[in-house]
Amino acid sequence: MAQAYMTDTGNGSSGHERPGSRFRRRLGSLRHDRGIWRRGIILALGAVLLTLLMIFHAEIPNKVGNLGSLTETFLPWLGVGILLLLAGALLRRSATALVALLLPAMVWLNLFGGLLTDKTSPGGNLTVASHNVNADNPDPEGTARKLADSGADVVALQELKASEVPAYERALSDTYKYHSVQGTVGLWSKYPMSDTQPVDIKMGWTRAMRSTVTTPEGQVAFYTAHLPSVRVKVNAGFTAGQRDESADALGEAIAREPVGKVALLGDLNGTMNDRALNAVTSQMRSTQGAAGDGFGFSWPASFPMARIDQIMVKGIKPMSSWALPETGSDHLPIAARVEI
């Protein structure tokens, strides 16, 4: 004969506890937990230190391994530290740590909260694109076709390998009537170009150029540049000295530009937060910061962690900014729509 079993559905411990009852029970246990304010002191100190790091990042000296610039390059990623401290505070059930975490959270939101919102606007009368195509790109013609398909009126390319320049010229010739390659950088345009010349950024060879593009709405001075690469070395820190000197030279050239409307498209090997690029960033607006949706990280393409490729303007209104799909490069192409 089969035996019948009965389940206790009353308030005893053998029944299923309702979610509301479980929450009230845990809340009651926390109220009676005398250590809730004593635990997590180290986590709270970590939150304070993280806050100070974000507030005073500009005071971190560059004299020792360019530590300040390195911090500023990956400054948004300090938000990951907040999440790790939050996980620790919850595991430790520490009210002290949770309250302390409000400090770095508010500072981070003050610094980067504006990038989390969509600032794109409809309209604009010129679309531009920029791409470090990578000298070792296995498919230059395919990369060029993707850029042409983006609808950009002006395209700037960096890290052009001399032997591959004809491939880019073939793939872009149907879309862009005008173009010029200077050293390892090039500019392709649907509109006439004039006064095209290399720009000396103190490297010994040409990695920057400018050209006046006559658009239907007027003349725009276009610059494209590929600033020197930076490295993180154990014995030397963040080696960016040559990059910094080139940024100063580029900033001086743009400051002397006689055309009132200026656009800079290029791989600056640095972010808008990096003080070493002040000669450029202090006089121009980032299209991503002014009209983007999110951080717009462009490097490395496989897992973008930093926006080191920039489209910046002066005397021009940014309307929208975005990253294009991955190509054969280790950078993502970037694009922007502007109002001249």
At 111-138, the pLDDT tens digits run 999 888 999 999 999 999 999 999 999 9
Of 3-12, 97-106, 216-225, 247-256, which gets the smallest average pLDDT?
A: 3-12
Mean pLDDT within 150-162: 97
* pLDDT value for 66: 74
Tokens of 99: 């309250």
Residue 334 phi, psi (nearest 5): -125, 155
What CA–CA distances, in Å, run from 200 to 36, 110, 183, 196, 247?
62, 37, 11, 13, 11
Please, are residues 208 and 224 in contact by the beta-carbon 8 Å criterion?
yes
Band the pLDDT of 152: cuts 50, 70, 90: very high
* pLDDT value for 229: 84
Q: Nearest-CA neighbor of 108 among 171, 55, 161?
A: 55
* pLDDT value for 243: 87
Tell which wins on pLDDT, 239 or 84.
84
Residue 266 CA to residue 227 CA, distance in Å, equals: 8
323 membership: H or E segment, kind and range: strand 317-323
Mean pLDDT within 128-152: 97
pLDDT for residue 305 is more than 60: yes
Residue 254 CA to residue 223 CA, distance in Å, equals: 8
Band the pLDDT of 18: cuts 50, 70, 90: low
Q: Nearest-CA neighbor of 224 among 274, 263, 166?
A: 263
* pLDDT value for 266: 97
Q: Nearest-CA neighbor of 291 among 322, 245, 329, 330?
A: 322
* pLDDT value for 24: 61
Of 40-54, 64-78, 95-109, 179-193, which gets the smallest average pLDDT?
A: 64-78
Share of the chain above pLDDT 90, in %: 76
